[in-house]
Amino acid sequence: MKKDSYVKDALVLTAITLISGLFLGGVYGLTKEQIDYINNKSTIDSYKQVFPDAETFDDETYADALQAALDEGKIAADNSSAELLSFVAAKDASGQEIGYIVKAQCAGFGGNDIVVTGVDPDLKITGIAFPETLPETAGLGQKATEPEFYEQFAGKTTGLSVKKGGGAGDSEIDAISGATITSTAVVNAVNASTEFVQDYVLK
């Protein structure tokens, strides 16, 4: 009888484990789908922020160029291991290419700072945006999301540098006070993006 009881208990525990696993798997699947939707919407919103005139975003035309850049690794080496994440061509209502949008990341103070950069055909930055919450300190690195910082990038080109009290020159970005690491991470991500457009798209 005792042996039968052990077998019965084992079967019950196995059944509970299987049901729990299936339930958790289902919840994860639904949650992941929702998270993916939110992240994708945030990315598209950031595309529109840096290229408000764009109607469509083509991620296929330059897919081979992006892969070639990733394989070569030069851009990451040039920009403190900044990593290219995705690339799209921005197109107007007629299907004409009006610019390029690169999503890149670089290690900041609290984690990877993800930046979306818009670049026009003259290699001028149309703007930058943050599709995800920056993993940076409130009141310090988080200030990167304030217009006083990110609006500095519009109209500038590649090869930017961070400088305290800078921002006046074509290649300078004024660092956020007390958050030089975050400022540098954002600039590295932007430089990686513009370098990719310069060397692999507009070449």
pLDDT at 164: 85
Confidence of residue 160 (pLDDT cuts 50, 70, 90): very high
Two tokens, residue 103: 């999503």
Could you tell me where the beta strands, DSSP code E, fall in the chain? 56-58, 83-91, 97-107, 112-119, 125-129, 161-163, 172-174
Residue 110 has pLDDT above 70, yes or no: yes
Residue 53 has pLDDT above 90, yes or no: yes
pLDDT at 37: 42
Distance, CA of 91 to CA of 80 (rounded, Å): 31
pLDDT at 5: 66
pTM of the shown model: 0.81
pLDDT at 91: 97
State the average pLDDT for the chain.
88
pLDDT at 195: 98
Q: Which has more pLDDT, 156 or 167?
A: 156
pLDDT at 19: 75
